[in-house]
Amino acid sequence: MTDKFITRFAPSPTGYLHIGGARTALFCWAYARRHGGTFILRIEDTDVERSTEAAVDKIYESLRWLDLGWDVVPPPRQMQRLPRYQEAAAQLLKAGKAYHCYASKEELEALREQQRARNEKPRYDGRWRPENARGKTPPAGVQPVVRFRNPDDGIVGWRDLVKGPIEFANAELDDLVILRGDGVPTYNFGVVVDDIDMHITHCIRGDDHVNNTPRQINIYHALGVPPPLFAHVPMILGTDGERLSKRHGAVGVLEYRDRGYLPEAVLNYFARLGWSHGDAEIFSREQFVGWFDLEHVSHAAARFDPEKLTWLNQEYMKVAADDRLAAEVLPRLERLGGRPDAGPPLEAVMGLLKTRCDTLETLAAEAMLFYGNAEPAPGLLVEHVTDASRPVLRELAAKFEALTDWTPPALGAAVKEVLALHKIKMPALAIPLRVAVFGRTQTPDLSAVLALLGRERTLARLSRHTGLT
């Protein structure tokens, strides 16, 4: 163990980076950053049939979007380290702590069926342990696997930095395969060799790995290396207490980007899944790094609440810089068919609308108020621009045209004059005005949106829908 803190996040590239993986990566990254240590991203790609380069790229893209930078470049990959695993397996074979096993898949499945029929826990029975294999002739043409010789008795345990003391009886653990016949390591062996070589000091991972830990600790001891400190963080469940799935809103990290969430909001929310700092709900990345510790990681499962994430995103959008939001919204606006060149400055629109929207997608949709087709549906026009409202709108258009100051206060004053003149309440004017100018019955503050839309566009739309042209 070195004095330096070294953590790692080691995803398998068999799909998108999900919420649980991203939360684990965040905790590993923050712990290393707080202690001035090293954060390693490692790609565990030994599941050759399911691993893809596209998934590797998505992992990189997801972590970059969250701004969780890694310190070893390029990230190490297990399939590039096969000779090292074979070397470590040979070390265990030479020391008598591993052995070759020639049992076929069919043979092992038959063994498990027999054990299940006897209501026993399915497990390897050690039939190819050296003392049990005396006199046996290895079957011809069979490429053996290498099995780790687990200790027969005693206790294997550790003090988990989240869960506290945990112990397992060695008698409960069978001899696991550590190297397949093709020379590719299994998970429990590859992770130990990698963590040894990369000098990992703190192994922070989901608590679904608790049952793997005693096996890995025994392999560490067999290789003559002290294990790292372990911290198993709680699972993430849906709001109904069931295992998190897509029906709870659990999707890949990049889908939150595509749905219009800000990365700092997503990061803030993930940080609160199983960890807390007093009552703090909203905090910066710098604050999180300064506060993060394992003592305040909960023992209980966290619950993922999509509504809470959306609320948090809205809070971040309220204070986001208008030019940044404009850059994020522009491509979304164009996908909706908006014409940013045919309306007011996008930054100004962001400043007006951002407090009303909870994602970049809804912000883009609202911005179409200024950049999209403002033609009201025929039924809406007939309902609201009537014989009763049309004279009022014409009166207002005349007042607007006479304005020398096209600002919210001046526009608001003109509206009030027309209301007083016709002795009507605001809805009787505001709703027909919105329909005629914006093609909808609701908008943000009327004077503000008219000021942003501009004199020329406002008067042209009023004229077109009040029969002045």
Active site residues: 246
Q: Residue 277: count other Cβ atoms within 10 Å of its Cβ.
A: 16
Estimate to the nearest angstrom the gap between the alpha carbon of 370 and the chain centroid.
Answer: 32
Burial of 105 (0-12, 13-18, 19+ CB in 10 A): exposed
The DSSP letter of residue 275 is: B
237 three-state secondary structure:
strand
Residues 353 and 328 sit within 8 Å (Cβ to Cβ): no
Tokens 């899944």 locate to 273
Nearest of 278, 269, 276, 274 to residue 314 by alpha carbon: 269
Q: Is 343 left (phi over 0), alpha (psi -120 to 50) or beta?
A: beta
Q: Residue 464: count other Cβ atoms within 10 Å of its Cβ.
A: 14
**What is the rounded distance in angstroms from the CA atom of residue 355 to the CA atom of residue 417?**
29
85 three-state secondary structure:
helix
**What is the rounded distance in angstroms from the CA atom of residue 114 to the CA atom of residue 96?**
29
DSSP assignment of 344-394: S-HHHHHHHHGGG-SSHHHHHHHHHHHHS--PPPHHHHHHHS-TTTHHHHH
**What is the rounded distance in angstroms from the CA atom of residue 91 to the CA atom of residue 94?**
5
**What is the rounded distance in angstroms from the CA atom of residue 233 to the CA atom of residue 449?**
48
Half-sphere exposure for 153 (CA within 13 Å, toward CB)? 0
